[in-house]
Structure 1
Amino acid sequence: MNLWYTIFAIVFFASILVAKNTRKSKNNLPPGPPRLPIIGNLHQLGSKPHRSMFKLCEKYGPLMSLKFGNVSTVVASTPETVKDVLKTFDLDCCSRPYMTYAARITYNLKDLGFSPYSNYWRELRKLTVTELYAAKRVQSFQHVRKEEVASFVDFIKQSALLENPVNFSLKLMTLSGSVICRVAFGIRFQGSKIENTYDEVIQGIMEVVGSFAAADYFPVIGKIIDRITGLHSKCEKVFKVMDAFFDQAIEHHLDDESIKDDIIALLLEMERGELGLGGFKLTRSHTKGILLNIIAAGIDTSAQTVTWVMTHLIANPRVMKKVQAEVREVIKNKENITEEDIEQLEYLKLVIKETLRINTLVPLLIPREASKDIKIAGYDIPKKTWIHVNVWAIHRNPNVWKDPETFIPERFMDNEIDYKGLNFELLPFGSGRRMCPGMGMGLALVHLTLINLLYRFDWKLPGGMKAEDVDIEESYGLVCPKKIPLELIPVLTQWT
């Protein structure tokens, strides 16, 4: 607590030194809570900003004004206001503000996720959609997913024989990391420079880029505050580990030019000018920035989705029994399980939808920035305003979903709402120009993994725990993992 008093004092006195006289805005801004001098509403964010913003929007409305230090912000929290941001005014709201630590992690915003809207971003988006994550390329890596899931299943079999609990939070990160390393980098996860610290590094990246950094809100003193809180050093630590890993993977390709089928090979061709990116020449920093998006988003989202699905299933025995019955009826004695089997598993698809609703992977979408003055829901949104889209608030809104805190896959039965960005009641992957392009790649692994887990094994909680003892609290980051790791004991069955 003394640390925060010190930080507040530093901010207060530094801001006095640089304060300027400003006129009261005549804009018709959205309503919002009262602000403290200097820090604005930062003190109201708490440890889980998505939840805090939801509580505030219940009082101040679906489009709410906040002030974070020097930055004016609005928060959209309902399907109607979010549709305005992501669809009606998508072009005017799809740029990104400059974020200090996201810029560092992404080699000065040379990635797709944090780069501002520009000709470069449009060309990179086109490349990503047509080359890196195209359905044909996703399909071409099916053998990699199949082999890695088979290895994962073998590990679970051994755990079942020994009656050892499986740490899902950790082992699913390993599985996802193994797939991404082969698909994107052409190297094995085991023996790589990221193997021993990957879970800490990936989680660290999500915490850093998802943070409300003082450097972004207090231009004079912010970086000093971030050094005091440790955010700066955490950013440097994860950046150096990732950079060394990228160097290892790139060197591997340069030493063996016969490697042609992965994503690094494609990017290196573009560096050499063999393929074009519009009028832009890719540098090594561009390549690394793009790879950062692939490894961070690719590993974490797939792993956390499967973890949350299994968490809700073990906490809801009725749903677990129903979904396993469906999987085993459809698969029967089929040894060669494929990703296409998901098309016949209607209830499993409902379970995945409900998981993506109740445990939104990215509860607050990456901030946007208004590129010009616009008007949403009758309110003025001045140019340069930061715009937060609170997907978590939509997914937990009782006016949108009946019993939103309860896990009920059946709510999607005979319901056309999907997660592909067209229905603003369910937006786990966003919508519009900034929608996640890797959705197909990530869900392919999620589907194959879940079918194997539910078909081949039964599951029980360790240490005499009961379903009602399962903790479903999340930690905060750009992607929100389960706070307490999920541990389950696998049980061999006749389908194993």
Structure 2
Amino acid sequence: MEFAYFLFVPVVVLFLKHFLFGARQLPPGPNQFHVMSYLSQLIYKPHIALQTLAKAYGPLMSFQLGDQLMVVASSPETAKEFCRTHDRIFSGRHLPSVYHILPGTIDSSIVLSPECGKAWKLLRTIGQSCVFSSRAMETNTWIRKAKVMDTVNHLRTKQLGQVVNLEDLMFATLANIISSALTAKNLFHIEGEGKEDYKEMMSLVNEVIEKTTTFGLVDFLPILKGVDFWSNGKAMDMYRKIKLTWGGIIQERRASTKNDQNPSSKTSQDFLDIVLSDGTFSEDQIAISLMELLIGATDSTTITTVWLIVELIKNPEMLSKVREEIAQAVEGDELNESLLSNNCNYFQACIKETLRLHVPAPLLVPHRAIETCKVNNYTIPKNSMVLVNSWGIARDPKYWEDATIFKPERFLDSNIGYRGTHFEYLPFGTGLRMCPGSAVAFKNIQMLVGSLLHYFDWSLPNGDDPISIDMSETYLTTLKKEKPLLLVPKLRE
């Protein structure tokens, strides 16, 4: 009788587990001990660690990191489940606690808004009308051209053999393009490159990017929130710096609008005009929105321009092809943006290949399940953090021939684009939370890199062989070149 009882109990347990809890079965994944053995890699190279784990546990896996359940999609099929099939349910955002502490973050975000609410829709609509739409991009063509030519003319003044931190200079150029489109103001004085105020602004913007996108210990162990004085201090420090960046610009515009006797006479309104006239956004909220748009338009785009120039100067034959195409897009002494877009197919293929091989945001921006959902017969609980390993997918030999080689030709006869319709290629994400500025970014990259390659030859300091360029990467939400890009410009005939 006792023997029968001991046989019966396990059967009942299995029965209950299968029928009562089977419906809430999580995707497979490593246990806590296995996760701990990967902890260093998950911190410093998460895209690589998650790709390795996916080979063992499959393209849809989950694991516990502290109190947070992590769910990872590592194939086009699973990415599609989260970003299209169940797009609305996974449209939430997981954000560092520091971001939530910042004054003004509630209802002031396009990219980082926790959910797609009314304020998110309003800001996205305003951004679309001022920056992201085809009409806005055409209207802002002169801004891109003017800011890029400011940089070209500045480089023309360099002495022969002078070394330039090209990464910083491209970042400043892109920052001026977006800040001019948003507020009609430059953030950087290009001619003051290397001077103290230039360095301070560069440091300030980079610090805000780092601190608002990096998860800390408290994000995975909420029990520590009561003693997390460090995050509060960091948030207040960032708040002060964000106000320092945008406060004066906002107050100046508010004063000029107030003193304008006939504001309706203004031919066009930029982003700052519209959010001020709306009246529902506080100064803190406007500053947060501007900083977020600046980060979105400069950080990942700078990363792509750096890797694009590195890949081209390492491949002289490819560089020659690109320059031949660009030469056909010149009118007078300046590049014609429409000709760049319509006639430079190989150059565009090089940009697309750079976005594949060097995905700026390898795990995209973390998604959050706003409610419990079933995916591939697995339960994804509410508030799960969902990561899409776009880096791993873009280097998967199942979907890409010679997946780890820079090969622009693969895009010449391909209909794969960067708009998020092909799930094996998601440099800007896809679905509701796709980067709204993907088309703007592509145009900025075209104009900036096209001009730098057309007007200048580039070489390494001390005449080093370009093949020796250090290709090491560093991960900090985005994946950038570890060492700065230091090059010597020489004006081309």
- 8 A Cα contact 1:103 1:114, kept in partner: no
Which residue is 1:221 aligned to? 224
Rounded Cα–Cα distance in structure 2 between residues aligned with 1:323 and 1:106: 46
Rounded Cα–Cα distance in structure 2 between residues aligned with 1:226 and 1:440: 40
Rounded Cα–Cα distance in structure 2 between residues aligned with 1:52 and 1:33: 12
1:100 aligned partner, one-letter code: S
1:57 aligned partner, one-letter code: A
Flag the 1:63–1:303 CA change in 2: closer, same or farther, 3 A. Answer: same
Deviation at 1:338, TM superposition (A): 2.2
Rounded Cα–Cα distance in structure 1 between residues aligned with 2:285 and 2:377: 40
- 8 A Cα contact 2:242 2:288, kept in partner: no
1:7-406 paired onto structure 2 within 5 Å? 26=22, 27-36=24-33, 42=39, 44-97=41-94, 99-105=96-102, 107-109=104-106, 110-115=108-113, 116-159=115-158, 161-190=159-188, 195-221=198-224, 224=227, 227=230, 234-257=234-257, 261-271=269-279, 281-328=280-327, 330-331=328-329, 334-342=332-340, 343-406=342-405
Deviates more, 1:430-439 or 1:291-300: 291-300
- 8 A Cα contact 1:213 1:226, kept in partner: no
Rounded Cα–Cα distance in structure 1 between residues aligned with 2:75 and 2:229: 32
Rounded Cα–Cα distance in structure 1 between residues aligned with 2:355 and 2:102: 27
Percent identical residues: 27
Task: Write the deviation string for residues 21-73 of structure 1: whole angstroms up to 9, x where unpaired.
Answer: xx996522111112149979755513121222112112211111021211111
Rounded Cα–Cα distance in structure 1 between residues aligned with 2:197 and 2:271: 18
Rounded Cα–Cα distance in structure 2 between residues aligned with 1:212 and 1:320: 39
- 8 A Cα contact 1:93 1:369, kept in partner: yes
Deviation at 1:371, TM superposition (A): 2.2
Rounded Cα–Cα distance in structure 1 between residues aligned with 2:345 and 2:103: 39
| Partner SS, residue 379 of structure 2 | strand
Count of residues in Structure 1 that have an aligned counterpart in Structure 2: 458
Rounded Cα–Cα distance in structure 1 between residues aligned with 2:43 and 2:85: 31
Flag the 1:462–1:47 CA change in 2: closer, same or farther, 3 A. Answer: same
Flag the structure with larger Rg.
Answer: 2
Rounded Cα–Cα distance in structure 2 between residues aligned with 1:37 and 1:358: 29
Deviation at 1:456, TM superposition (A): 1.7
1:221 aligned partner, one-letter code: L
Structure 2 portions without partners, runs of 5+: 1-16, 261-265
| Partner SS, residue 92 of structure 1 | coil
Rounded Cα–Cα distance in structure 1 between residues aligned with 2:174 and 2:206: 14
- 8 A Cα contact 1:365 1:430, kept in partner: yes
| Partner SS, residue 458 of structure 2 | strand
Flag the 1:295–1:70 CA change in 2: closer, same or farther, 3 A. Answer: same
Task: Write the deviation string for residues 359-407 of structure 1: whole angstroms up to 9, x where unpaired.
Answer: 1111112211112222222322122211111111111112121222211
- 8 A Cα contact 1:90 1:432, kept in partner: yes
Structure 1 portions without partners, runs of 5+: 1-22, 272-280
Rounded Cα–Cα distance in structure 1 between residues aligned with 2:389 and 2:358: 13
Which residue is 2:409 aligned to? 410
Task: Write the deviation string for residues 295-321 of structure 1: whole angstroms up to 9, x where unpaired.
Answer: 111222332221121011112222212
Rounded Cα–Cα distance in structure 2 between residues aligned with 1:50 and 1:393: 7
Rounded Cα–Cα distance in structure 1 between residues aligned with 2:392 and 2:479: 14
- 8 A Cα contact 2:131 2:181, kept in partner: no
Rounded Cα–Cα distance in structure 1 between residues aligned with 2:458 and 2:37: 48
Q: TM-score, normalised on structure 2?
A: 0.86
Rounded Cα–Cα distance in structure 2 between residues aligned with 1:48 and 1:396: 15
Flag the 1:308–1:402 CA change in 2: closer, same or farther, 3 A. Answer: same
2:150 aligned partner, one-letter code: S
Deviation at 1:197, TM superposition (A): 2.5
- 8 A Cα contact 1:309 1:352, kept in partner: yes
Deviation at 1:106, TM superposition (A): 7.4
1:447-458 paired onto structure 2 within 5 Å? 447-458=446-457
Rounded Cα–Cα distance in structure 1 between residues aligned with 2:435 and 2:52: 27
